[in-house]
Amino acid sequence: MTATLEAHLDRALAELGTSNRRLLAVCDLSVSLGTSLDATVVVRQLAKETARLLAAPSVTVALHPDLGGGGAEHPGPYATAYGRSILSQLEVRDREPADPVELEDGPTVILPLSVDQRPAGALAIRTGAAGLDPADLWLALTAAAAGSRALQACHDHARGLEAARLEAEYALAAAVQDRLRPGDLPTVAGLDLAVHSEAALGGVGGDLLDHRAHADGVLVAVGDVTGKGASAAMVLTAAQMTLRRLLDRHTDARPSDLLDRLTDELHPFLSELGTLMTLALVHVSSDDGVAEIVSAGHSPVVLHRRGGTPRLLLPTHAPLGVDSEPADPRSVLLRPGDRIVAATDGLHEHEFDGGADVGLTTVLSTIERLDRTDELVAGLRALVPGSVQDDLTVAVLAREVPPCGR
Amino acid sequence: MLTVDIREHPSARLVAVAGRFDAHTQSTVADAMHGATDLVLDLGEVTFVDSSGLATLVRTHTRLARDGGALIVRAASQPVRIILELTGLERILAIQPAEAAALLAREAA
């Protein structure tokens, strides 16, 4: 506080000793402002009550644009240009709050209002040329402080409402995604499937996981939509519903056929949004162990032969949303014990505190180390400690080793 | 942390990106590429690129192709080359060795 202002306040307090009625009035102002959580009402009331308290010819309250702008004047209508000229005075350095500023309508004392300890607006009191006497200045400063507190309460309330609205929207999105989760793992003789999927943001994510008994075996879909949060979740929901519909209609369709159909339906939508989606579709026949794999830019997809070294399978197609020529699917014969692992980048791109990431090498060595599918899924999940930073999905589809072959 | 260096040449804009090119920084790179018809993008010093960064590259590639321009990626760092290969995007984006792109840049100058 500056020495000049301090001197004003000392004198004011001395005078207020005989002016308890006005002191009570400013207390009333503080209480009445605190009863509203609507900034418009607070601003109007602050202008009106300050004018009454100080018997000032005119009081204006102007809000900073960050708080929605606007303001109130008592008496008379609020003029935006006048509000702007008041706010601009707050930016003048070395200005004493007690010193009246010469504005078009006459000398005016301009006091700052703040929210979150940042400039939020101004309380402008038209005065005579001498400005406010010390007692009035003290009352005006008290009114401005009460106004700041009331505006802070409005701001906190609005922020709370916004947070509650977002929370409700996320809860709804999470409920929708929950309904879209695949059901129980398919039970198909000779094949073993284990999966894990986890969203980073309150159950709402951009990873796709689906599986079902399909044609003569099991089909697994693992995908990832660019970005995070609600927008990625909406794209994912559209993609998952499209995939479900295609699977219901084309019960014998192979991954390559499904990907062609998905591309036809989703490409215009994705390219218009400027977003990408990677997707791996894996089907393994329980009859002969033939696996057909298509990967639209998805990685990692890993083939692990029993007792061998896991190897990455490169994509067969560009991600969905990119103009590209269709490519051939990849077919491999899975022998008993062989398996295919598909995951999303939330696994190998997970970054530790020091800046290093999990990395594909660690993923591959974990695949090599753990035999059982459920152990492997748990082991891969455990590479990311605690809660996930990014959506994370892992699926392992293996051809079982017959009891006599163990 | 990301830095972007922009140089305008008569026939192309050269944009050199260094650091992490991800969901948090992709808009900076997108802004640097915005408005150009022909772009040479140097990703030699990029330490990490995620799917949001890739989507930015694809969007720009699509826009320039539609407008009769071109996006040339040069000097892709190892992390960038790996992710382009893993996503199959190296078949879509024009990626040049650093020497060829440098020659192009000198000619443009």
Search chain B and give the residue with CA nearest A297. B87
Contacts of A240 (CB under 8 A, 6+ apart): A180, A208, A210
User: Which tokens sit at B25?
Assistant: 């920084």
Question: Phi/psi at B76 (nearest 5 deg)?
Answer: -65, 130
What pLDDT is stored for residue B41 in this prediction? Answer: 93
Q: Which of A267, A294, A291 is nearest to A281 (CA)?
A: A294
**pLDDT-wise least confident of A37-46, A164-173, A179-188, A272-281:** A164-173
pLDDT score of A406 more than 60: no
* Mean pLDDT to the nearest integer, B55-68: 90
Alpha-carbon separation of residue B50 from A184, A200, A320, A345 (angstroms):
32, 16, 16, 9
Could you report the per-residue pLDDT of A185-228, keeping only the tens digit for each?
999 999 999 999 988 866 777 889 999 999 899 999 999 998 77
| Contact (CB<8Å) B51/A224 | yes
pLDDT score of A404 more than 90: no
Could you report the per-residue pLDDT of A281-330, keeping only the tens digit for each?
999 999 999 999 999 999 899 999 999 999 999 899 989 988 777 777 89
What pLDDT is stored for residue A379 in this prediction? Answer: 95
| Contact (CB<8Å) B58/A321 | yes
User: Which tokens sit at A187?
Assistant: 């039970």
| Contact (CB<8Å) A299/B92 | no
Choose between A128 and B84: higher pLDDT.
Answer: B84
Alpha carbons B56 and B27: distance in angstroms, whole number: 8
What pLDDT is stored for residue A220 in this prediction? Answer: 97
The answer to whether B59 contacts chain A (CB < 8 Å) is yes
Is there a contact between A130 and A48 (Cβ–Cβ < 8 Å)? Answer: no
pLDDT score of A48 more than 80: yes
* Mean pLDDT to the nearest integer, B65-85: 88
Q: A120 CA to chain B: closest CA distance, Å?
A: 29
Q: Which of B59, B85, B92 is opposite residue A318, by nearest beta carbon?
A: B92
Chain A environment of B50 (Cβ under 8 Å): 345, 349
* Mean pLDDT to the nearest integer, A77-102: 81
Alpha carbons B92 and B61: distance in angstroms, whole number: 9
Could you report the per-residue pLDDT of A114-138, keeping only the tens digit for each?
999 888 899 999 987 777 888 788 8
pLDDT score of A33 more than 60: yes
The answer to whether B86 contacts chain A (CB < 8 Å) is yes
Alpha-carbon separation of residue A147 from A144, A397, B51 (angstroms):
5, 64, 47
Choose between A121 and A96: higher pLDDT.
Answer: A121
Alpha carbons A44 and A121: distance in angstroms, whole number: 13
Chain B environment of A280 (Cβ under 8 Å): none
The 10 Å Cβ neighbour count of residue A112 is 16
Q: A314 CA to chain B: closest CA distance, Å?
A: 6
pTM of model > 0.80 = no
* Mean pLDDT to the nearest integer, B42-53: 90
Q: Which ranges in A209-293 belong to alpha helices (H)?
A: 229-249, 255-273
Search chain B and give the residue with CA nearest A313. B86
Chain A environment of B91 (Cβ under 8 Å): 318, 324
The 10 Å Cβ neighbour count of residue A260 is 15
Helix (H) or strand (E) holding A110: strand A106-115
CA angle, residues A385, A386, A388, in degrees to nearest 5: 90
What pLDDT is stored for residue A373 in this prediction? Answer: 95
Provide Rg for chain A, Cα atoms: 34
What pLDDT is stored for residue A6 in this prediction? Answer: 62
Q: A224 CA to chain B: closest CA distance, Å?
A: 9
Alpha-carbon separation of residue B39 from A65, B21, B49, B54 (angstroms):
38, 17, 19, 16
Q: Which of B55, B87, B88 is opposite residue A274, by nearest beta carbon?
A: B55
